[in-house]
Amino acid sequence: MHHFQYKQDELYCEDVPVRRIAEEIGTPCYIYSLATLRHHFLTFDSAFTDARHLTCYSAKANSNIAILKLFGSMGGGVDIVSGGELYRALKAQVPSNRIVYSGVGKTVEEIDFALREKILMFNIESTQELEQINRRAEAMNTRAAVSVRVNPDIDPNTHPYISTGMKRNKFGISTDIVMQAFEDAKNLKNVDMIGLDCHIGSQLTDVTPFVDALKRLRALIERLRQRGADIRYLDLGGGLGIVYDQEAPPQPHEYARALLRELQDINCTLIFEPGRVIVGNAGIFVTRVLYTKRTPVKNFVITDGGMNDLIRPSLYGSYHYVQPVARNLQETEIVDVVGPICESGDFLARDRDLPLSSQGDYLAVMSAGAYGFSMSSNYNSRRRAPEVLVTGGDYFVIRRRETWEDLVGSETLPDFLEGGLQ
């Protein structure tokens, strides 16, 4: 469910015409629906009402502080994977005891930052990381709460770039090493081993891999408790998929029912890290047609938005539904929707049957709320797009478009170049 609908052949976000935003803010731009964000968060969170749990939104999906603030105000936490995301979560006033730090490559600077802020826990991904956190906690005269990320060797049946729970992936610790990690931790004086974590991948459309992983985790928890481990938290990650095209992912209540059936009497606080399932269909990417070009082989619609703005199609071969902001019943043609980037891999859609486009038309790339702006870049020295949040009949710019000055603001000329080389 989302709040992007046509009204008299004009695409609206809630009660605001998308064309109005595009004309007043300019393109390309990202537009998010507050009502959709709220609905998706509540739908996911309420599915686990019968269990002791914390929904920690995955900041990497979309890290705008307005969105983090929204979910924090609704009782949610944040799952982070960098010091920058921790900074954003704190700027959004998310309580630090609702922040979980995941990720395979935490630096000393980032570990120290998280320790100072007294986050809920670290999800550690190697025994060396565990030892590093213990050293930093000792140096800062504090204790670190730690959960071990388990790699259960489960095939999530998703794109290989977003599969994270198999032996060949870089994430987590294999189940045979986890037991030893808990034993070794008994000799570490500044860490408290309080949980297990498991995240097997993203954009999953079947609950079976989740359930298979959970069965292995449950057996592991029982073994650890028999050895005296105090397992208080079970972080089940995220990864629930959304509809981009013809997918049929389970609804949050179906996902919850399948998991809770396996979690009876587990006696843990459950942590979830949903990202895409909350923000994915809550956002669109709007771009303007610059030119159309017809060749004997291909027809192209060239837009002002490119792979630097929305890299998912180029990086993953991902499908995003594309539709005109002003709908009409004219004839269609098969086209590639491409951007201005100097790369043959710069495309938003390929071989799509779309209504004939003209210069100045606006196109909406749907389901762009997750991994859209957060993965954007300044490639080709392009300014990153603005982000707009719509609520009812109003809209707010929650990130302005970058300026030319922003592009070079952090760069400097060394003295020997100031006057030019002699």
Burial (Cβ within 10 Å: 0-12, 13-18, ≥19) of residue 373: buried
Distance CA(263)–CA(234), nearest Å, equals 10
CB-based contact 311:274 (threshold 8 Å): no
Largest CA distance in the chain: 77
Which tokens sit at 158? 């998703």
Question: What are 145's strand-pairing partners?
Answer: 192
Both tokens of 175, joined, read 């189940």
Contacts with 406 (C-beta within 8 Å, 6 or more apart), sequence order:
383
Q: Measuring CA to CA, which residue among 321, 161, 166 is closest to residue 247?
A: 321
Using CA atoms, how far residue 387 sits from 67, 202, 246, 340, in Å, is: 11, 24, 27, 20
Contact 367, 320 (CB under 8 A): yes
342 is catalytic: yes
Say which residues have a Cβ less than 8 Å from residue 335's Cβ, sequence separation at least 6: 292, 298, 299, 300, 301, 349, 351, 352, 354, 357
372 touches 297 (CB < 8 A): no
| CA torsion through residues 149, 153, 158, 160, sign | positive
Spatial contact of 89 and 99, defined as CB atoms under 8 Å apart: yes
| Three-state DSSP class for residue 17 | strand
Determine contact, residues 57/68, Cβ cutoff 8 Å. Answer: yes
Whether 233 and 268 have beta carbons less than 8 Å apart is answered as yes
CA distances from 390 to 14, 15, 68, 395, 402 (A): 7, 8, 15, 4, 20
Cβ–Cβ < 8 Å for 148, 179? no
- The tokens 């047609």 sit on which residue? 289
Which residues carry out catalysis?
342
